[in-house]
Amino acid sequence: MKIGIVGAGAIGGYFAARLAHFGQDVSILARGETLAAIRANGIRLESEGRQFNEHVKASDRAEELGAQDVVILAVKAPALPTAAQSIAPLLGPHTIVVPALNGLPWWYFLASSEALAGHRLHAVDPAGLLELAIPVSRLVGCVVFPASSALAPGVIRHASGNRIVFGEPQGGTSARVDALAKIFSEAGFAAEASTNIRREIWLKLLGNMCFNPVSVLVGCSSDRLIDDPRLHRMMAGMMTEAIALGGALGIHVDIKPDDRIALTRKLGTVKTSTLQDVEAGRPLEIDGILGTVVEAAEAIEHPIPLLTAVYALTRKRADVLGLLPQA
């Protein structure tokens, strides 16, 4: 299968190396130092005590890569509108597009038949550019649980976790979702096909919407956040708000906040992707991770005071650091 990966950072590079190692035809759309490093040295990955060094086709021009069977969008939310405008040459009549993103994806309510059905998330797609560039019919939802980081351009370290979940935006089953899960399973991932990907996205978001912004505010790894009694209580309160909001939106997750926090604790000493972005001086995807949640709550007039306060503080922190994406 021809798999095009847009972005070769912590997640895109991790996917590219493993999929290529296990026989898939992988191409990467990248630019700058990352593109130069991949062309010179391939994708280098440290994972589970193994070293992978995979040479794949890479370009900064989608035309050179051509139509793919699957396109994986592995860029951060601030870069997504530009990336979406660049992928048209990668799309054939039946190409599947898989956004591997943190937070609520732009399509989340467009594919819903419940509360906020058809609502465009202005926090991540204010002008509808993503909605226009990538029709929902092309999309397969994806939830990425592995923790990894880019040590240098084209050099990736996988720290922990290997679960990947795929699903149709509207729910249910399909042959294309089953095929994706099979491909990733054969590449060593714990890949699953879900009949309710929107629930899976919200379940992961329970962690992201708490750990990512709080890590930006205090500047430490997730285990240290959890082990601080005051922060632990605060994040449990944030998750309680998020679970209640999900229920009001028709997204029911059967998990207690402390149990969800314990899942992150199992990852060990890891830095959130947003804290990694702070340290690297990259724009922060705070609007995708938490701004979307605040927008949804405001749209149905459901109060989430802790989450709203943390969002305001983190957004201002990003602004002060010069890392708030420009509209």
Q: Which of 204, 256, 266, 271 is catalytic?
A: 204
Question: What HEC string does the chain produce?
Answer: CEEEEECCCHHHHHHHHHHHHCCCEEEEECCHHHHHHHHHHCEEEEECCEEEEECCEEECCHHHHCCEEEEEECCCHHHHHHHHHHCHHHEEEEEEEEECCCCCCCCCCCCCCCCCCCCCCCCCCCCCHHHHHCCHHHECEEEECCEEEEEECCEEEEEECCEEEEECCCCCCCHHHHHHHHHHHHCCCEEEEECCHHHHHHHHHHHHHHHHHHHHHHCCCHHHHHHCHHHHHHHHHHHHHHHHHHHHCCCCCCCCHHHHHHHHHCCCCCCCHHHHHHHHCCCCCHHHHHHHHHHHHHHCCCCCHHHHHHHHHHHHHHHHCCCCCCC
Known catalytic residue at 204:
yes
* Catalytic (active-site) positions: 204
